[in-house]
Chains A and B, each alone.
Chain A
């Protein structure tokens, strides 16, 4: 029972935080798409 509560508790905070990180990664993606490679410089 305690293990179940433990898993649910961690999921309750991990899911929104994971969503927030995913949103930030998506926001940051144009940064990497536009970084010129070494051969282009």
Chain B
């Protein structure tokens, strides 16, 4: 059984033949990321699931938090297995876990079981997220050594796009199948598992890895490239002992922390700061999600021209300058300026995710870049916890101190500047990886 499975699913089975068009790989990667990106849209199920299960919305939200934590943990724990097994087997495992998680969530509605929701969508689905996140990215990095930023930007743009697709899809399905006391959540989750299965299996079928030593036709690595870009290989076990790994961990954690809170609070923020309606506030969240997706591809592609270190300096310096502008925009009532600044901030938040795999490839080579990326993603899980806690905590304390709601966010904006400043320092400290950590890959 193991032999036959490896024959069809293993790394060797997915090795591309001569003449294979590498542009067939990005759609496979985007398909998987677009499905697992649904996790960003889980909030549309908050109220329906709370109603169906007879629990509170915060209890349902625990499933989302568990899923994000499991994303980081599974990416870190299974990273080496992902590199060894190849993308097809990993994508299939991701499909089984993620779509299995959606089906268990549907069963949780049927049996009104919160533990089934937490274990199904949170734990099992979260493992699917981690596996599905790193496998396509590390594959694309190997196919596009000439444009790694653009390549990873494409896949991770798909993850951002997952929310844009997942939210309206879920709402449409619940509207179509909900009736009376039935919110339609059970049918919606089941159908989404079926639809996403189609896309994830398509990705697993289409994905290929390049043959050893493959290079794009006519491409010669530039000798004069930045000293940060290595042609050597560093294994995951050595990589995470380097200062560079932990500096990039801080870079990602600060970049995500500075954006994630604003993304979650966008609608409330605009309503409280400018006195707009909930509909307009919701429109603001919609606008930001487009910039969150687009920024992943655009900025990450820009990093191929500027270099990774420079582009992260832009994220941090420009991001801090834009955050510092927001209180002034609020005081002068300039809503257009506020929209432009926040849209740019969120574009760089998304870009932080998309550019980091290429940065890792620059420093550690392509050998086990997926596994290294997996361990670095724990920074995201950490940021998902500390970012919103910091923002909510500071905002609540300012309101409790008697600061008007419209102005209470200003302190959080300056706090974001500090976080971005820490990220900038960490980024500036990144130097080429010492030769003592480099090795020759076995394969």
Please indicate whether A and B come from the same complex rather than being unrelated chains.
yes
Rounded to whole angstroms, the CA-CA distance of A3 and B206 in the bound complex is: 14
Rounded to whole angstroms, the CA-CA distance of A2 and B277 in the bound complex is: 51
**Are A27 and B283 touching (Cβ within 8 A)?**
yes
**Are B31 and A17 touching (Cβ within 8 A)?**
no
Rounded to whole angstroms, the CA-CA distance of A14 and B199 in the bound complex is: 12
Q: Within residues 1 to 41 of chain A, which ones have a CB less than 8 A from any CB in chain B?
A: 2, 5-6, 9-10, 12-13, 16-17, 19-21, 23-32, 34-36, 41
Chain A contacts of B30 at CB under 8 A? 13, 17
B28 on the A face (CB < 8 A): yes
Nearest-Cβ distance from residue A10 to partner chain B, whole angstroms: 5
Rounded to whole angstroms, the CA-CA distance of A27 and B167 in the bound complex is: 11
Residues of B within 8 A of A (CB): 21, 23-24, 27-28, 30-31, 34, 158, 161, 163-168, 199, 202, 206, 276-277, 279-280, 282-287, 289-290, 293, 333, 335-336, 339
**Are A23 and B164 touching (Cβ within 8 A)?**
yes
Chain B contacts of A36 at CB under 8 A? 335
Rounded to whole angstroms, the CA-CA distance of A6 and B31 in the bound complex is: 14
Chain A contacts of B34 at CB under 8 A? 13, 16-17
**Are B24 and A5 touching (Cβ within 8 A)?**
yes
Choose among A9, A26, A29 the residue with the greatest number of B CB atoms under 10 Å from its CB.
A9
Residues of A within 8 A of B (CB): 2, 5-6, 9-10, 12-13, 16-17, 19-21, 23-32, 34-36, 41
- What are the nearest 8 A-B pairs in CB distance? A20-B164, A27-B286, A31-B283, A20-B165, A9-B27, A28-B286, A23-B168, A28-B287
Chain B contacts of A24 at CB under 8 A? 164, 286-287, 289-290
Chain B residue nearest to A3 (CB atoms) is B21
Chain A residue nearest to B294 (CB atoms) is A21
- A contact face: mostly helix, strand, loop, or mixed: helix
Q: List 26 A-B contacts (CB under 8 A).
A: A9-B206, A12-B31, A12-B202, A13-B27, A13-B199, A16-B199, A17-B34, A17-B164, A19-B165, A20-B161, A20-B163, A20-B164, A20-B165, A20-B166, A20-B168, A24-B286, A24-B287, A27-B283, A28-B284, A30-B282, A31-B286, A31-B339, A34-B276, A34-B280, A35-B336, A36-B335
Nearest-Cβ distance from residue A17 to partner chain B, whole angstroms: 5
**Are A28 and B164 touching (Cβ within 8 A)?**
no
Chain B residue nearest to A24 (CB atoms) is B286
Nearest-Cβ distance from residue B47 to partner chain A, whole angstroms: 18
Rounded to whole angstroms, the CA-CA distance of A36 and B286 in the bound complex is: 19
Chain B contacts of A34 at CB under 8 A? 276-277, 280
**Are B290 and A30 touching (Cβ within 8 A)?**
no
Chain A residue nearest to B164 (CB atoms) is A20
Nearest-Cβ distance from residue A14 to partner chain B, whole angstroms: 8
**Are A13 and B31 touching (Cβ within 8 A)?**
yes
**Are B28 and A9 touching (Cβ within 8 A)?**
yes
Nearest-Cβ distance from residue A26 to partner chain B, whole angstroms: 8
